[in-house]
Amino acid sequence: MEHLERSGYVRSDPVRHAMGSVRRELFVPTSVQRAAYADHPLEIGHHQTISAPHMVAIMVEAMRCSEGQRVLEVGGGLGYHAAVIAHVVGPTGHVFTVERIEALARRARDNLEAAGLSDRVTVVVGDGSCGWPEHAPYDRISVACAAPRLSETMVDNLSEDGMLLIPVGSPYMQELTRVTRKGNRTTVERLGGCIFVPLVGKCGQ
C-alpha cells in the first residue's frame, strides 16, 4: 500500500481507503497465498490472472468513481477488482461483474461473501464482451481483459455521462482506453500501455 502511494498509483482518499480495506489474500488461490500482497499479477487457474495491485489502483483511479454509482465489470475473475470498486461506490452503489468461466465466478461469489460484500456485488456468468444490457445503464464500466476494439453496444450500456475503461489492442499488448460519454458524444483517451488476458466472445478477440 505504501509502495502504491509512493509510486503515485494511489492518489485519492476513496481509492486509498478501498485498497486498504480489501484483504487481497481472500481473493487469491491458496497456492499463491504467500504472494498475495506482491505487486505483480497472479495465476488464478484456467489460464487467467488476477491483475497486479498497481494496475487495479491505476484503473480504479482512472474511473473516477463516486459513492452510489452502478458499475459493470467485465472479467470478474476471483472478484478482487470488483471488491475494490465496491468499496469506492459504497453501500448505496452496486457492482455487477460478468465472468465467462463458471468455476471462477463461483469462487468469486464465495470470496466476496467472505469479505462481507455479497450484497454490494452481483456476479453473473456469461459473455460480457459486448456489455451486459440486463442491468444497464451503468455509470461506469471497467473491463479487465483485452478487447480488439471498442464495442459500440458496450458504449451504449453507459449512462448519459458514463465512463468506460478498457484495454484495447492485440492479445499481447494493449492501450488502456477511457471513453467518456456526454449525451450522444463520446471522447476517447489513451492512458498508456498495459497487458491483460484476452477478452474472448462475440465482441472479443
Which residues of this protein are in contact with ligand SAH, per CB under 6 A? 48-51, 74-81, 98-101, 104, 127-129, 144-145, 197, 199-201, 204
Calpha distance 64→139 (Å, rounded):
10
Among residues 136 and 184, whose Cβ is nearest to ligand SAH? 136
Strands (E), 22-69: 42-45, 48-50
How far, CA to CA in Å, does 39 sit from each of 17, 65, 71, 132, 166?
18, 23, 25, 30, 21
By beta-carbon proximity to ligand SAH, the closer residue of 79 and 93 is 79
Q: How far is the CB of 10 from ligand SAH (least distance, A)?
A: 16
**Is 81 strand, coil or helix?**
helix
How far, in Å, CA of 143 to CA of 136, rounded?
15
Tell me how far, at minimum, the Cβ of 201 lies from ligand SAH, in Å. 3
Give the active site residue among 51, 129, 142, 151.
Answer: 51
51 is catalytic: yes
Q: Kindly state the smallest distance separating residue 161's Cβ from ligand SAH, in Å.
A: 25
Active-site annotation, residues: 51
